[in-house]
Amino acid sequence: MQRYLDFNATCPPLRVALDAADRAATEAPGNPSSLHWAGRAARRYVDDARDQLAAYTGAESGNIVFTSGGTESNNIAIHSVLSVAQPGSIVTSAIEHPAVLKPLEHYSTEKAKALGWSVTRVAPDANGAVSAAEMIAAINKDTRLVCLMQANNESGVMQPVQQVADYCREQGVPMLVDAVQALGKKPLNFKAMGVDFMSLSGHKIGGPKGTGLLLVRRGVKIVELTPGGGQERGRRSGTENVPGISGFAAALGKIDFTTFSPIRDLFEKELVEKLPVASIIGKDVGRTPNTSLVMLPGMDGETLLMQLDLAGFAVASGSACSSGKREPSHVLMAMGMTEQLARSSIRVSFGPGNSEADAVALVDALVAVFRRLKQMAGMVI
C-alpha cells in the first residue's frame, strides 16, 4: 500500500482544479492579450481568477501579478527593490527558502560588500522561530529590504511577520513575505499585514503546478526580470497560463488543513512513545497544522527516506526543493545543530486522503526501519 505524506512539497491536484483548468483550456483557447472574441474569453478567465484570489488573500485585484510559482515571485520582489537601490543592508532570516536565500547571495559577495552591501541573516531559536525583536534590531536607516517567511517549509513553524511588518511600515522599509507554506493553513490578509510583497504558489493547495502569484502593494514599482510583451500591466511579461491560473483559483479554500492536526499530533505522540530517542522540532510553538519535522539521532534522513519509500511511504528529508543534494538542512543548521544531527531529520506533512491509520502505520514503519538500521550498524561494528 502506498501512502503519500509529503504535502508540503506539493499537494496532488484536486479534481475541481483540474476540471477548472480543463474548462479554461477548451472553452477559452485564445491568447488573453488578443483583442478578438477568443482572446477576450481567455481574458475573462484570468480576470475572474484574479478577483477570486484577491478576495481570498485580502488584496485588491490590481495587487496580483501572476507568475510560475513562489520562486519566481520571490525573485521578482527581490530584484525589483535591490536592482534600483543604493547599496545598503538587507535583513532576512537564516531559515528562508532557497528562493530567497539564493538571490541574496549576490549581495554577500566580496564585490558587493566593497560596494556597501551587507546581508544579515537572523538565526532562529531552538524551536525554529525567529525573534521579532532581533529582526527589528537588525534594521537600520540603511536597510533596503527585509525578507521573512510566514511559515517555514521544513518545520512548519510560524514566524512573527506581523510585528516585523509593523516596524518596517513605520520606517518605510520594503518587506517581502514568503507565504507559500501558509496559504490554506493560516488566514492571510495582505492589506492588513501592510507589507510590500507576498509570494504564493498554487500547487501547495491542490492547484496546478507551475502557477503562482506575487502580491504587490499599490504604488510599488516592479522591475521585470524578463522584459517582453508587457503582460500583467508591464510587471511580468509572457502569455498568462490561463488553465493554471483558473485551476489555482478553483482550489482556493477546498482543503481545510486544520483537520489534519489531530492526525499529526497522533503521529508525534505514538512516535515519541515507541521511539523515545525521537524529538519533534517546533512542538512548543505555533506551527502549520499538518507538519511534523522529526529528529532521529544516529540515523541518516536520506537513508530513512529511502527505506520508507520501499515500504510505500512518501516523506521528505529537509527541504524538498533541495532533496537532490546531499546537504544537511540549512534550517536545522541555523538552529545550532551539528551537521550529523541536521542530517537525521525527516519531514512528514499530512493532507487530503490521510487518516489516523496512516499516522500509526508510519510510526510502525519508522520503528522497524530504525531497529533494522541499528542492528546493521551493530553488525558492522
Same domain membership, residue 243 and residue 168: yes
Identify whether the C-beta of residue 329 lies closer than 8 Å to the C-beta of residue 295.
no
Over residues 108-130, mean pLDDT: 97
Same domain membership, residue 265 and residue 233: no
Across 342-373, b (16+ Cβ under 10 Å) vs e yields bbbbbbbbbbbebeeebbebbbebbeebbeeb
Range of the domain at 300: 3-11+256-380
Identify whether the C-beta of residue 242 lies closer than 8 Å to the C-beta of residue 28.
yes
Same domain membership, residue 287 and residue 221: no
Q: Can you give the pLDDT at residue 327?
A: 82
Query: Quick one: pLDDT band at residue 379, thresholds 50, 70, 90?
Result: very low
Percent of the chain with pLDDT over 70: 96
Cα 145 to Cα 85, 135, 175, 216, distances in angstroms: 9, 12, 6, 14
Q: Can you give the pLDDT at residue 301?
A: 87
Question: pLDDT tens for residues 337-351?
Answer: 999 999 999 999 999
Q: Can you give the pLDDT at residue 381?
A: 33
Q: Hey, CA dihedral for 199, 205, 207, 209, is it positive or negative?
A: positive
Catalytic residue positions? 321
Query: Quick one: pLDDT band at residue 378, thresholds 50, 70, 90?
Result: low
Question: pLDDT tens for residues 172-222?
Answer: 999 999 999 999 999 999 999 999 999 999 999 999 999 999 999 999 999
Same domain membership, residue 38 and residue 173: yes
Q: Hey, CA dihedral for 103, 104, 110, 115, is it positive or negative?
A: positive
Comparing CA positions, the residue from 63, 90, 95, 68 lying closest to residue 79 is 90
The percent helix, strand, coil of the chain (3-state, each to 5) is: 45, 15, 40
Same domain membership, residue 353 and residue 294: yes
DSSP 299: S
CA atoms of 346 and 155, how far apart (whole Å): 10
DSSP 347: E
CA atoms of 169 and 175, how far apart (whole Å): 8
Same domain membership, residue 241 and residue 279: no
CA atoms of 258 and 29, how far apart (whole Å): 37
Q: Can you give the pLDDT at residue 373?
A: 84
Q: Can you give the pLDDT at residue 297?
A: 92
Same domain membership, residue 47 and residue 24: yes
Q: Can you give the pLDDT at residue 320?
A: 52
pTM of the model: 0.95
Identify whether the C-beta of residue 144 lies closer than 8 Å to the C-beta of residue 89.
yes
Identify whether the C-beta of residue 199 lies closer than 8 Å to the C-beta of residue 178.
yes
Last residue of a domain, one of 192, 217, 251: 251
Last residue of a domain, one of 222, 251, 280: 251
CA atoms of 331 and 338, how far apart (whole Å): 11
CATH for 314: 3.90.1150.10
Average pLDDT, the chain: 95
Same domain membership, residue 374 and residue 233: no
CATH for 229: 3.40.640.10
Question: In total, how many domains does the chain have?
Answer: 2
Residues, the chain: 381
Q: Can you give the pLDDT at residue 374?
A: 81
Same domain membership, residue 285 and residue 194: no
Comparing CA positions, the residue from 29, 46, 39, 33 lying closest to residue 246 is 46
Q: Is the pLDDT of residue 52 over 80?
A: yes
Same domain membership, residue 95 and residue 32: yes
Query: Quick one: pLDDT band at residue 319, thresholds 50, 70, 90?
Result: low
Q: Can you give the pLDDT at residue 99?
A: 97
Last residue of a domain, one of 233, 251, 269: 251
Q: Is the pLDDT of residue 318 over 70?
A: no
Same domain membership, residue 226 and residue 273: no
Q: Can you give the pLDDT at residue 317?
A: 84
Q: Is the pLDDT of residue 269 over 80?
A: yes
SS3 string, 43-92, reads HHHHHHHHHHHHHHCCCCHHHEEEECCHHHHHHHHHHHHHCCCCCCEEEE
Q: Is the pLDDT of residue 80 over 70?
A: yes
Q: Can you give the pLDDT at residue 326?
A: 66
Question: Three-class SS of residue 31?
Answer: coil
Same domain membership, residue 172 and residue 157: yes
CA atoms of 254 and 23, how far apart (whole Å): 18
Over residues 114-126, mean pLDDT: 97
